[in-house]
């Protein structure tokens, strides 16, 4: 298995999730390789853990760690004309396979973001983003209900691979997206497919990161629909845990092993979601 979403970080007031703890947890879970995502920027209650920090761990464990770099869209003069090629080329040469987790609290279709996204596409580096519901109050790029801004980004940046993550992204698996719950973990049956499925069908450069409570909730709130969703979109989904706490449950690991054992999803779908899609888009 390849885990597309882990961290080494310290949440304020918590025991740090060190590289040693992360490596041990991955071994216990039977996950062979894993992406470590840097955390930067002022939003969020986390201590800074940058691209260079991730690369240090990668150099010690190159057979296990898949490094991403991270760049704030506001970096370099806070301008939509900033040239990020120096950073992108530097980190790609050092071994980075993607950019993220982008957590800046900006509209996802802002000129600052579009500028960075286009340059990531030209560099051949996928972008993993955290999606939030509003400006202020937390971290993450922002979209409105039904993801109109994300669609503008996908239209403007066709060369860039995007990996969507977090509550405001996964709430859109259902057509029913109440404003009051889309920044959380909506419950209930999925009676009609949501805006997310339409975008996945229309834009082959969009992928879904199944990690964290948000991804797991999306595929288990309505179990039967979740199975259908995994089988239908298996070429655009990526397994992950979003380990970011020293003590954290990871129910998605057992979930995938169980549905594979029971034949609920095909072997092809299982392999694509848990390994092959990551190998393809990250050029592993």
Give per-residue pLDDT as tens, 135-164: 999 999 999 999 999 999 999 999 999 999
For strand 99-102 and strand 65-67, is the pairing parallel, antiparallel, or unpaired?
Answer: unpaired
Q: Which helix (H) or strand (E) holds 51?
A: helix 51-60
Q: Where are the domains of the chain?
A: 2-281
* DSSP H stretches of helix in 221-282: 223-232, 251-261, 267-271, 277-281
Average pLDDT over residues 262-284: 97
Q: How far apart are CA 106 and CA 145, in angstroms?
A: 15
Global confidence as pTM: 0.97
Helix (H, G, I), strand (E, B) or coil at 183: coil
Give every CB contact of residue 236 below 8 A, 6+ residues apart in sequence.
200, 204, 206, 207, 208, 277
Answer whether residue 44 shows pLDDT above 90. no
Answer whether residue 273 shows pLDDT above 90. yes
Backbone angles phi, psi at 273, to 5 degrees: -70, -40
- Around Cβ 20, how many Cβ atoms within 10 Å? 10
Average pLDDT over residues 204-221: 98
pLDDT level of residue 267 (50, 70, 90 thresholds): very high
Distances in whole angstroms, Cα of residue 199 to Cα of each of 8, 20, 138, 236, 271: 31, 38, 25, 11, 23
Work out the mean pLDDT of the chain and round it to a whole number. Answer: 97
pLDDT level of residue 253 (50, 70, 90 thresholds): very high
Structure tokens at 104: 């800046």
CB burial of 236-263 (b: ≥16 within 10 Å; e: otherwise) equals bbbbbbbbbbeeeebebbebbeebbeee
Query: Angle formed by the axes of helices 148-156 and 195-202, to 10°?
Result: 10
* CATH fold label, 2-281: TIM Barrel (3.20.20)
């Amino acid at each position: 298995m390849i885990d597309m979403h882990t961290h080494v970080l310290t949440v304020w007031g918590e025991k740090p999730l060190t590289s040693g703890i992360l490596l041990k947890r991955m071994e216990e879970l039977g996950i062979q390789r894993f992406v470590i995502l840097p955390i930067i920027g002022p939003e969020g209650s986390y201590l800074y853990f940058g691209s260079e920090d991730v690369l240090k761990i990668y150099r010690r464990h190159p057979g296990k760690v898949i490094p991403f770099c991270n760049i704030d869209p506001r970096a370099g003069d806070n301008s939509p004309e900033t040239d990020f090629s120096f950073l992108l080329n530097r980190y790609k040469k050092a071994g980075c396979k993607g950019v993220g987790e982008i957590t800046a609290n900006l509209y996802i279709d802002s000129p600052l973001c579009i500028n960075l996204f286009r340059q990531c596409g030209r560099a051949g580096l996928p972008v993993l983003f955290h999606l939030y519901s509003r400006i202020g109050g937390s971290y993450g790029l922002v979209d409105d209900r039904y993801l109109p801004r994300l669609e503008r980004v996908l239209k403007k940046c066709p060369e860039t691979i995007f990996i969507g993550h977090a509550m405001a992204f996964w709430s859109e698996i259902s057509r029913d997206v109440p404003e009051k719950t889309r920044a959380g973990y909506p419950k209930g049956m999925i009676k009609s497919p949501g805006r997310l499925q339409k975008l996945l069908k229309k834009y082959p450069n969009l992928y879904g990161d199944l990690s964290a409570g948000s991804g797991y909730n999306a595929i288990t709130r309505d179990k039967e629909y979740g199975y259908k969703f995994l089988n239908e979109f298996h070429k655009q989904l990526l397994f992950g845990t979003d380990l970011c706490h020293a003590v954290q449950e990871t129910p998605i690991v057992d979930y995938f092993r169980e549905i594979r054992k029971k034949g609920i999803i095909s072997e092809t779908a299982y392999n694509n979601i848990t390994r092959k899609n990551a190998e393809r888009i990250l050029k592993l």
